[in-house]
Structure 1
Amino acid sequence: MLKALIFDMDGTLVHSDPVHLEAFAKVLKPEGVAITEEIYHSTIIGRTNEAIFASLLPHLPVERHEAYANEKEATFRRMAQDLTPLDGLLNLLEWVEARGIRIALVTNAPRLNADHMLEALGLANRFEVEITIDQVERGKPDPLPYLTAIERLGIRADEAIAFEDSPSGMRAAKAAGLFSFGVLTGLSAAELTKVGADRTIETFRDSALWEVLERRIAA
Protein backbone atom coordinates (compact mmCIF):
# COMPACT_ATOMS: atom_id res chain seq x y z
CA MET A 1 0.00 0.00 0.00
CA LEU A 2 1.37 3.39 -0.96
CA LYS A 3 1.70 5.69 2.05
CA ALA A 4 4.16 8.41 1.00
CA LEU A 5 5.95 10.15 -1.85
CA ILE A 6 9.44 11.44 -1.14
CA PHE A 7 10.87 14.16 -3.39
CA ASP A 8 14.31 15.52 -4.05
CA MET A 9 14.20 19.29 -4.60
CA ASP A 10 16.56 20.75 -7.23
CA GLY A 11 15.87 19.28 -10.63
CA THR A 12 12.86 17.39 -9.30
CA LEU A 13 10.34 19.84 -7.86
CA VAL A 14 11.70 22.54 -10.16
CA HIS A 15 14.16 22.77 -13.05
CA SER A 16 16.65 24.87 -11.09
CA ASP A 17 19.90 23.42 -12.46
CA PRO A 18 20.54 26.28 -14.94
CA VAL A 19 20.44 28.77 -12.06
CA HIS A 20 22.78 26.64 -9.95
CA LEU A 21 25.20 26.34 -12.88
CA GLU A 22 25.23 30.12 -13.34
CA ALA A 23 25.79 30.67 -9.61
CA PHE A 24 28.72 28.22 -9.51
CA ALA A 25 30.22 29.83 -12.62
CA LYS A 26 29.99 33.32 -11.15
CA VAL A 27 31.48 32.39 -7.78
CA LEU A 28 34.32 30.25 -9.16
CA LYS A 29 35.37 32.54 -12.01
CA PRO A 30 37.91 34.40 -9.80
CA GLU A 31 39.61 31.04 -9.14
CA GLY A 32 39.92 30.41 -12.87
CA VAL A 33 37.44 27.52 -12.78
CA ALA A 34 35.04 27.46 -15.74
CA ILE A 35 31.77 25.66 -15.09
CA THR A 36 30.46 24.10 -18.29
CA GLU A 37 27.37 21.92 -18.61
CA GLU A 38 29.65 18.89 -18.84
CA ILE A 39 31.42 19.77 -15.59
CA TYR A 40 28.11 20.57 -13.92
CA HIS A 41 26.67 17.15 -14.79
CA SER A 42 29.82 15.18 -14.00
CA THR A 43 31.03 16.96 -10.85
CA ILE A 44 28.21 18.99 -9.33
CA ILE A 45 24.69 17.69 -9.91
CA GLY A 46 23.28 15.93 -6.86
CA ARG A 47 26.48 16.06 -4.78
CA THR A 48 27.08 17.82 -1.47
CA ASN A 49 28.90 21.17 -1.46
CA GLU A 50 31.63 19.56 0.60
CA ALA A 51 32.35 17.05 -2.18
CA ILE A 52 31.86 19.58 -4.98
CA PHE A 53 34.33 22.16 -3.73
CA ALA A 54 36.85 19.52 -2.71
CA SER A 55 36.81 18.31 -6.33
CA LEU A 56 36.89 21.73 -7.97
CA LEU A 57 39.31 23.47 -5.58
CA PRO A 58 41.57 20.69 -4.23
CA HIS A 59 44.43 23.15 -3.65
CA LEU A 60 42.44 25.20 -1.12
CA PRO A 61 41.83 24.38 2.56
CA VAL A 62 38.44 23.23 3.83
CA GLU A 63 37.74 26.65 5.33
CA ARG A 64 37.92 28.24 1.87
CA HIS A 65 35.67 25.51 0.46
CA GLU A 66 33.07 26.35 3.10
CA ALA A 67 33.34 30.07 2.37
CA TYR A 68 32.88 29.51 -1.34
CA ALA A 69 29.94 27.17 -0.70
CA ASN A 70 28.22 29.81 1.43
CA GLU A 71 28.86 32.46 -1.23
CA LYS A 72 27.53 30.20 -3.97
CA GLU A 73 24.31 29.43 -2.08
CA ALA A 74 23.72 33.10 -1.29
CA THR A 75 24.29 33.92 -4.96
CA PHE A 76 21.84 31.21 -5.99
CA ARG A 77 19.15 32.52 -3.65
CA ARG A 78 19.53 36.03 -5.08
CA MET A 79 19.23 34.69 -8.62
CA ALA A 80 16.42 32.18 -8.02
CA GLN A 81 13.44 34.47 -7.71
CA ASP A 82 11.13 33.30 -10.49
CA LEU A 83 10.79 29.56 -9.97
CA THR A 84 8.01 27.43 -11.44
CA PRO A 85 7.08 23.93 -10.23
CA LEU A 86 7.80 21.14 -12.69
CA ASP A 87 4.81 20.46 -14.93
CA GLY A 88 2.15 18.40 -13.17
CA LEU A 89 3.66 18.66 -9.69
CA LEU A 90 0.84 20.64 -8.09
CA ASN A 91 -1.78 18.30 -9.57
CA LEU A 92 0.13 15.30 -8.25
CA LEU A 93 0.38 16.76 -4.75
CA GLU A 94 -3.34 17.51 -4.68
CA TRP A 95 -4.15 14.00 -5.93
CA VAL A 96 -2.07 12.17 -3.31
CA GLU A 97 -3.08 14.44 -0.44
CA ALA A 98 -6.76 13.83 -1.24
CA ARG A 99 -6.06 10.14 -0.76
CA GLY A 100 -4.21 10.53 2.52
CA ILE A 101 -0.81 9.87 0.99
CA ARG A 102 1.87 11.87 2.77
CA ILE A 103 4.71 13.81 1.16
CA ALA A 104 8.29 14.42 2.24
CA LEU A 105 11.33 16.31 0.98
CA VAL A 106 14.90 14.96 0.97
CA THR A 107 17.59 17.28 -0.37
CA ASN A 108 21.33 17.86 -0.18
CA ALA A 109 20.57 21.59 -0.16
CA PRO A 110 20.98 23.64 3.03
CA ARG A 111 17.92 24.73 5.00
CA LEU A 112 18.17 28.34 3.79
CA ASN A 113 17.93 27.20 0.18
CA ALA A 114 15.05 24.83 0.90
CA ASP A 115 13.07 27.54 2.68
CA HIS A 116 13.73 30.02 -0.13
CA MET A 117 12.79 27.63 -2.91
CA LEU A 118 9.69 26.21 -1.26
CA GLU A 119 8.46 29.72 -0.58
CA ALA A 120 9.12 30.77 -4.18
CA LEU A 121 7.30 27.69 -5.48
CA GLY A 122 4.31 28.22 -3.21
CA LEU A 123 5.10 25.01 -1.33
CA ALA A 124 6.11 26.36 2.07
CA ASN A 125 4.83 24.11 4.88
CA ARG A 126 3.47 21.64 2.32
CA PHE A 127 5.80 18.75 3.17
CA GLU A 128 5.19 16.83 6.36
CA VAL A 129 8.86 15.88 6.65
CA GLU A 130 11.76 17.96 5.27
CA ILE A 131 15.29 16.56 5.42
CA THR A 132 18.06 19.00 4.45
CA ILE A 133 21.82 18.50 4.52
CA ASP A 134 21.99 20.36 7.84
CA GLN A 135 20.01 17.62 9.60
CA VAL A 136 22.07 14.53 8.74
CA GLU A 137 25.67 13.49 9.23
CA ARG A 138 25.99 12.25 5.65
CA GLY A 139 24.27 13.47 2.50
CA LYS A 140 23.42 11.65 -0.70
CA PRO A 141 24.66 9.30 -2.18
CA ASP A 142 24.55 7.89 1.35
CA PRO A 143 21.04 6.53 2.04
CA LEU A 144 20.92 8.22 5.46
CA PRO A 145 18.76 11.20 4.33
CA TYR A 146 16.13 8.85 2.91
CA LEU A 147 16.32 6.47 5.85
CA THR A 148 15.80 9.46 8.16
CA ALA A 149 12.72 10.56 6.21
CA ILE A 150 11.27 7.05 6.27
CA GLU A 151 11.84 6.83 10.02
CA ARG A 152 10.19 10.19 10.67
CA LEU A 153 7.21 9.23 8.52
CA GLY A 154 6.91 6.01 10.49
CA ILE A 155 6.62 3.83 7.39
CA ARG A 156 8.53 1.08 5.60
CA ALA A 157 10.60 1.71 2.48
CA ASP A 158 8.25 -0.43 0.38
CA GLU A 159 5.38 1.90 1.31
CA ALA A 160 6.95 4.93 -0.39
CA ILE A 161 8.09 6.13 -3.81
CA ALA A 162 11.05 8.46 -4.39
CA PHE A 163 11.71 11.02 -7.14
CA GLU A 164 15.29 11.93 -8.07
CA ASP A 165 17.12 13.59 -10.95
CA SER A 166 20.79 12.84 -10.16
CA PRO A 167 23.00 9.75 -9.90
CA SER A 168 23.91 10.45 -6.26
CA GLY A 169 20.28 10.96 -5.31
CA MET A 170 19.15 7.84 -7.14
CA ARG A 171 21.85 5.75 -5.49
CA ALA A 172 20.73 7.06 -2.09
CA ALA A 173 17.06 6.31 -2.73
CA LYS A 174 17.73 2.80 -4.03
CA ALA A 175 20.14 2.02 -1.18
CA ALA A 176 17.33 2.98 1.21
CA GLY A 177 15.09 0.42 -0.49
CA LEU A 178 12.75 2.79 -2.33
CA PHE A 179 10.99 2.31 -5.65
CA SER A 180 12.32 5.34 -7.51
CA PHE A 181 11.45 7.48 -10.50
CA GLY A 182 14.21 9.27 -12.37
CA VAL A 183 13.13 12.78 -13.38
CA LEU A 184 14.67 13.77 -16.71
CA THR A 185 15.41 17.45 -16.18
CA GLY A 186 19.16 17.11 -16.68
CA LEU A 187 20.18 13.54 -17.44
CA SER A 188 18.95 10.94 -19.90
CA ALA A 189 16.74 7.96 -19.15
CA ALA A 190 19.69 5.67 -19.83
CA GLU A 191 21.91 7.52 -17.35
CA LEU A 192 19.36 7.36 -14.53
CA THR A 193 18.34 3.78 -15.30
CA LYS A 194 22.00 2.79 -15.13
CA VAL A 195 22.22 4.00 -11.51
CA GLY A 196 19.01 2.27 -10.44
CA ALA A 197 15.90 4.19 -11.54
CA ASP A 198 12.91 1.85 -11.71
CA ARG A 199 11.12 4.14 -14.18
CA THR A 200 11.88 7.54 -15.71
CA ILE A 201 9.57 10.50 -16.39
CA GLU A 202 9.97 13.90 -18.04
CA THR A 203 7.21 15.54 -16.01
CA PHE A 204 4.71 14.56 -13.36
CA ARG A 205 2.08 14.14 -16.07
CA ASP A 206 3.80 11.15 -17.67
CA SER A 207 1.65 8.03 -18.00
CA ALA A 208 4.46 5.87 -16.58
CA LEU A 209 4.02 7.60 -13.22
CA TRP A 210 0.24 7.37 -13.12
CA GLU A 211 0.25 3.69 -14.06
CA VAL A 212 2.42 2.95 -11.03
CA LEU A 213 0.39 5.20 -8.71
CA GLU A 214 -2.93 3.66 -9.71
CA ARG A 215 -1.53 0.17 -9.24
CA ARG A 216 -0.04 0.97 -5.85
CA ILE A 217 -3.23 2.69 -4.67
CA ALA A 218 -5.26 -0.37 -5.60
CA ALA A 219 -2.88 -2.79 -3.86
Structure 2
Amino acid sequence: MLKALIFDMDGTLVHSDPVHLQAFAEILKAEGVVIDDEIYRNSIIGHTNESIFATLLPHLTVAEHEEYADRKEAAFRRLAQDLEPMEGLLELLDWANGRGVEIALVTNAPILNATHMLDVLGVTERFSVKVTIGDVARGKPDPLPYLTALDRLGISAEEAIAFEDSPSGMKAAKGAGLFSFGLLTGLTAGEMRAVGADRTIPNFRDPALWEILERRIAA
Protein backbone atom coordinates (compact mmCIF):
# COMPACT_ATOMS: atom_id res chain seq x y z
CA MET A 1 0.00 0.00 0.00
CA LEU A 2 1.18 3.51 -0.76
CA LYS A 3 2.43 5.26 2.39
CA ALA A 4 4.59 8.14 1.13
CA LEU A 5 5.33 10.45 -1.78
CA ILE A 6 8.96 11.60 -1.95
CA PHE A 7 9.81 14.70 -3.97
CA ASP A 8 12.96 16.24 -5.34
CA MET A 9 12.77 20.03 -5.11
CA ASP A 10 14.23 22.05 -8.01
CA GLY A 11 12.53 21.19 -11.30
CA THR A 12 10.04 18.97 -9.48
CA LEU A 13 8.15 20.96 -6.86
CA VAL A 14 8.82 24.13 -8.82
CA HIS A 15 10.30 25.09 -12.18
CA SER A 16 13.25 26.91 -10.62
CA ASP A 17 15.96 26.05 -13.14
CA PRO A 18 15.86 29.46 -14.89
CA VAL A 19 16.54 31.17 -11.56
CA HIS A 20 19.41 28.80 -10.74
CA LEU A 21 20.90 29.48 -14.18
CA GLN A 22 20.65 33.22 -13.56
CA ALA A 23 22.34 32.88 -10.16
CA PHE A 24 25.20 30.78 -11.55
CA ALA A 25 25.68 33.22 -14.43
CA GLU A 26 25.75 36.18 -12.04
CA ILE A 27 28.41 34.85 -9.68
CA LEU A 28 30.60 33.16 -12.30
CA LYS A 29 30.77 36.16 -14.61
CA ALA A 30 33.85 37.46 -12.78
CA GLU A 31 35.64 34.19 -13.57
CA GLY A 32 34.84 34.51 -17.26
CA VAL A 33 32.56 31.46 -17.18
CA VAL A 34 29.48 31.80 -19.38
CA ILE A 35 26.49 29.72 -18.24
CA ASP A 36 24.12 28.83 -21.07
CA ASP A 37 21.39 26.20 -21.40
CA GLU A 38 23.78 23.53 -22.64
CA ILE A 39 26.24 23.96 -19.77
CA TYR A 40 23.36 24.06 -17.32
CA ARG A 41 21.89 20.81 -18.62
CA ASN A 42 25.21 18.96 -18.83
CA SER A 43 27.18 20.23 -15.85
CA ILE A 44 24.72 21.67 -13.33
CA ILE A 45 21.24 20.13 -13.30
CA GLY A 46 21.02 17.42 -10.66
CA HIS A 47 24.65 17.76 -9.54
CA THR A 48 25.96 18.73 -6.12
CA ASN A 49 27.64 22.11 -5.70
CA GLU A 50 30.88 20.28 -4.94
CA SER A 51 30.77 18.59 -8.35
CA ILE A 52 29.54 21.70 -10.20
CA PHE A 53 32.27 24.04 -9.04
CA ALA A 54 35.00 21.42 -9.38
CA THR A 55 33.94 21.10 -13.04
CA LEU A 56 33.46 24.79 -13.82
CA LEU A 57 36.34 26.18 -11.78
CA PRO A 58 38.98 23.41 -11.74
CA HIS A 59 41.82 25.89 -11.15
CA LEU A 60 40.45 26.94 -7.75
CA THR A 61 40.79 25.25 -4.38
CA VAL A 62 38.07 23.33 -2.57
CA ALA A 63 37.74 26.22 -0.09
CA GLU A 64 37.22 28.64 -2.98
CA HIS A 65 34.64 26.29 -4.51
CA GLU A 66 32.76 26.34 -1.20
CA GLU A 67 32.88 30.14 -1.11
CA TYR A 68 31.46 30.36 -4.63
CA ALA A 69 28.76 27.84 -3.74
CA ASP A 70 27.69 29.93 -0.75
CA ARG A 71 27.58 33.06 -2.91
CA LYS A 72 25.58 31.29 -5.61
CA GLU A 73 22.99 29.98 -3.14
CA ALA A 74 22.64 33.41 -1.55
CA ALA A 75 22.08 34.88 -5.03
CA PHE A 76 19.49 32.20 -5.77
CA ARG A 77 17.53 32.93 -2.58
CA ARG A 78 17.59 36.65 -3.39
CA LEU A 79 16.28 36.00 -6.90
CA ALA A 80 13.75 33.27 -6.04
CA GLN A 81 10.95 35.28 -4.49
CA ASP A 82 7.98 34.82 -6.82
CA LEU A 83 8.08 31.17 -7.87
CA GLU A 84 4.86 29.18 -8.21
CA PRO A 85 4.29 25.49 -7.38
CA MET A 86 4.44 23.03 -10.27
CA GLU A 87 1.05 22.64 -11.95
CA GLY A 88 -1.10 20.24 -9.94
CA LEU A 89 1.28 20.05 -6.97
CA LEU A 90 -1.08 21.52 -4.37
CA GLU A 91 -3.88 19.22 -5.48
CA LEU A 92 -1.55 16.25 -5.17
CA LEU A 93 -0.46 17.28 -1.67
CA ASP A 94 -4.13 17.70 -0.66
CA TRP A 95 -4.88 14.23 -2.03
CA ALA A 96 -2.03 12.72 -0.03
CA ASN A 97 -3.01 14.54 3.14
CA GLY A 98 -6.59 13.35 2.84
CA ARG A 99 -5.47 9.72 2.62
CA GLY A 100 -2.82 9.70 5.32
CA VAL A 101 0.04 9.48 2.81
CA GLU A 102 3.27 11.04 4.14
CA ILE A 103 5.10 13.68 2.10
CA ALA A 104 8.90 13.89 2.07
CA LEU A 105 11.60 15.99 0.43
CA VAL A 106 14.93 14.67 -0.87
CA THR A 107 17.21 17.29 -2.40
CA ASN A 108 20.87 17.99 -3.10
CA ALA A 109 20.18 21.60 -2.11
CA PRO A 110 21.42 23.02 1.22
CA ILE A 111 18.96 23.43 4.08
CA LEU A 112 18.76 27.23 3.66
CA ASN A 113 17.60 26.82 0.07
CA ALA A 114 15.12 24.09 0.94
CA THR A 115 13.63 26.14 3.77
CA HIS A 116 13.42 29.24 1.56
CA MET A 117 11.82 27.39 -1.36
CA LEU A 118 9.22 25.57 0.73
CA ASP A 119 8.33 28.85 2.46
CA VAL A 120 7.98 30.69 -0.87
CA LEU A 121 5.73 27.92 -2.16
CA GLY A 122 3.73 27.88 1.08
CA VAL A 123 4.15 24.14 1.63
CA THR A 124 6.69 23.88 4.46
CA GLU A 125 4.31 22.22 6.92
CA ARG A 126 3.26 19.61 4.36
CA PHE A 127 6.60 17.80 4.51
CA SER A 128 7.04 15.48 7.47
CA VAL A 129 10.56 14.49 6.39
CA LYS A 130 13.18 16.70 4.73
CA VAL A 131 16.55 15.32 3.60
CA THR A 132 19.00 17.93 2.29
CA ILE A 133 22.64 17.67 1.24
CA GLY A 134 23.81 18.45 4.78
CA ASP A 135 22.03 15.37 6.15
CA VAL A 136 23.99 12.77 4.18
CA ALA A 137 27.58 11.82 3.48
CA ARG A 138 26.85 11.39 -0.22
CA GLY A 139 24.33 13.24 -2.38
CA LYS A 140 22.51 12.09 -5.49
CA PRO A 141 23.18 10.10 -7.70
CA ASP A 142 24.03 7.97 -4.69
CA PRO A 143 20.83 6.37 -3.31
CA LEU A 144 21.75 7.35 0.25
CA PRO A 145 19.48 10.46 0.39
CA TYR A 146 16.46 8.34 -0.57
CA LEU A 147 17.44 5.51 1.76
CA THR A 148 17.72 8.09 4.54
CA ALA A 149 14.22 9.40 3.81
CA LEU A 150 12.78 5.87 3.81
CA ASP A 151 14.46 5.18 7.13
CA ARG A 152 13.07 8.38 8.68
CA LEU A 153 9.61 7.56 7.33
CA GLY A 154 9.86 4.03 8.70
CA ILE A 155 8.75 2.42 5.44
CA SER A 156 10.12 0.25 2.64
CA ALA A 157 10.81 1.37 -0.92
CA GLU A 158 7.77 -0.58 -2.12
CA GLU A 159 5.54 1.68 -0.03
CA ALA A 160 6.64 4.97 -1.64
CA ILE A 161 6.72 6.78 -4.98
CA ALA A 162 9.46 9.23 -5.98
CA PHE A 163 9.34 12.28 -8.26
CA GLU A 164 12.51 13.48 -9.99
CA ASP A 165 13.55 15.62 -12.95
CA SER A 166 17.28 14.94 -13.40
CA PRO A 167 19.46 11.95 -14.34
CA SER A 168 21.32 12.00 -11.03
CA GLY A 169 18.09 12.21 -9.06
CA MET A 170 16.45 9.43 -11.01
CA LYS A 171 19.49 7.19 -10.57
CA ALA A 172 19.36 7.84 -6.82
CA ALA A 173 15.65 7.04 -6.57
CA LYS A 174 15.92 3.88 -8.64
CA GLY A 175 19.06 2.85 -6.76
CA ALA A 176 16.97 2.97 -3.58
CA GLY A 177 14.35 0.73 -5.20
CA LEU A 178 11.58 3.32 -5.66
CA PHE A 179 8.91 3.43 -8.33
CA SER A 180 9.71 6.82 -9.87
CA PHE A 181 8.03 9.44 -12.03
CA GLY A 182 10.22 11.66 -14.20
CA LEU A 183 9.07 15.28 -14.46
CA LEU A 184 9.73 16.68 -17.92
CA THR A 185 10.84 20.15 -16.87
CA GLY A 186 14.35 19.94 -18.29
CA LEU A 187 14.76 16.63 -20.11
CA THR A 188 12.79 14.69 -22.70
CA ALA A 189 10.73 11.61 -21.93
CA GLY A 190 13.32 9.49 -23.71
CA GLU A 191 16.14 10.94 -21.63
CA MET A 192 14.26 10.31 -18.40
CA ARG A 193 13.36 6.74 -19.36
CA ALA A 194 16.99 6.11 -20.30
CA VAL A 195 18.05 6.80 -16.71
CA GLY A 196 15.33 4.62 -15.21
CA ALA A 197 12.06 6.56 -14.94
CA ASP A 198 9.11 4.17 -14.66
CA ARG A 199 6.76 6.83 -16.06
CA THR A 200 7.20 10.39 -17.31
CA ILE A 201 4.78 13.27 -16.77
CA PRO A 202 4.82 16.98 -17.72
CA ASN A 203 3.20 17.99 -14.41
CA PHE A 204 1.13 16.63 -11.54
CA ARG A 205 -2.16 16.79 -13.41
CA ASP A 206 -1.23 14.05 -15.88
CA PRO A 207 -3.88 11.25 -15.91
CA ALA A 208 -1.12 8.60 -15.96
CA LEU A 209 -0.04 9.74 -12.50
CA TRP A 210 -3.53 9.66 -11.01
CA GLU A 211 -4.29 6.23 -12.43
CA ILE A 212 -1.27 4.79 -10.66
CA LEU A 213 -1.92 6.69 -7.42
CA GLU A 214 -5.50 5.44 -7.17
CA ARG A 215 -4.38 1.90 -7.91
CA ARG A 216 -1.61 2.00 -5.31
CA ILE A 217 -3.76 3.56 -2.58
CA ALA A 218 -6.35 0.81 -3.03
CA ALA A 219 -3.80 -2.01 -2.89
Per the TM superposition, whether the score is higher than 0.5 is yes
Matched, 1:147 2:147: yes
| Distance (whole Å) between structure 2 residues aligned to residue 35 and residue 55 of structure 1 | 13
TM-score, normalising length: structure 2: 0.99
Q: Which residue in 1 is equivalent to 2:214?
A: 214
Q: Which residue in 2 is equivalent to 1:94?
A: 94
| Distance (whole Å) between structure 1 residues aligned to residue 114 and residue 43 of structure 2 | 21
Task: Please report how far the alpha carbon of residue 218 of structure 1 lies from its aligned counterpart in structure 2 after TM superposition.
Answer: 1.6
Q: Which residue in 1 is equivalent to 2:111?
A: 111
Please tell me the residue identity of whatever aligns with 2:194.
Answer: K
Task: Please report how far the alpha carbon of residue 217 of structure 1 lies from its aligned counterpart in structure 2 after TM superposition.
Answer: 1.1
State the Cα deviation string for residues 70-117 of structure 1 (Å, max 9, x = none).
000000000000010000000000011101111100000000000101
Q: Which residue in 2 is equivalent to 1:181?
A: 181
Please tell me the residue identity of whatever aligns with 2:64.
Answer: R
* Secondary structure in structure 1 of the residue aligned to 2:109: coil
Q: Which residue in 1 is equivalent to 2:204?
A: 204
Task: Please report how far the alpha carbon of residue 125 of structure 1 lies from its aligned counterpart in structure 2 after TM superposition.
Answer: 2.1
Runs of 4+ with deviation above 3 angstroms: none
RMSD: 0.5
Report 1:159-198 matches (<5 A): 159-198=159-198
* Secondary structure in structure 1 of the residue aligned to 2:161: strand
* Secondary structure in structure 2 of the residue aligned to 1:64: helix
| Distance (whole Å) between structure 1 residues aligned to residue 187 and residue 28 of structure 2 | 23
Report 1:35-74 matches (<5 A): 35-74=35-74
TM-score, normalising length: structure 1: 0.99
Task: Please report how far the alpha carbon of residue 151 of structure 1 lies from its aligned counterpart in structure 2 after TM superposition.
Answer: 0.3
| Distance (whole Å) between structure 1 residues aligned to residue 55 and residue 208 of structure 2 | 36
Please tell me the residue identity of whatever aligns with 2:141.
Answer: P
Consecutive unaligned residues in structure 1, runs of 5 or more? none
State the Cα deviation string for residues 129-169 of structure 1 (Å, max 9, x = none).
00000111100000000000000000000100000000000
| Distance (whole Å) between structure 2 residues aligned to residue 196 and residue 109 of structure 1 | 22
Q: Which residue in 2 is equivalent to 1:18?
A: 18
| Distance (whole Å) between structure 1 residues aligned to residue 123 and residue 49 of structure 2 | 24
| Distance (whole Å) between structure 1 residues aligned to residue 57 and residue 125 of structure 2 | 36
Report if the CA contact (8 A) 2:180-2:197 is conserved: yes
* Secondary structure in structure 2 of the residue aligned to 1:21: helix
How many residues are paired up? 219
State the Cα deviation string for residues 162-203 of structure 1 (Å, max 9, x = none).
000000000000000000000011111111100000000001
Task: Please report how far the alpha carbon of residue 126 of structure 1 lies from its aligned counterpart in structure 2 after TM superposition.
Answer: 1.5
| Distance (whole Å) between structure 2 residues aligned to residue 58 and residue 142 of structure 1 | 23
| Distance (whole Å) between structure 2 residues aligned to residue 95 and residue 116 of structure 1 | 24
| Distance (whole Å) between structure 2 residues aligned to residue 86 and residue 122 of structure 1 | 12
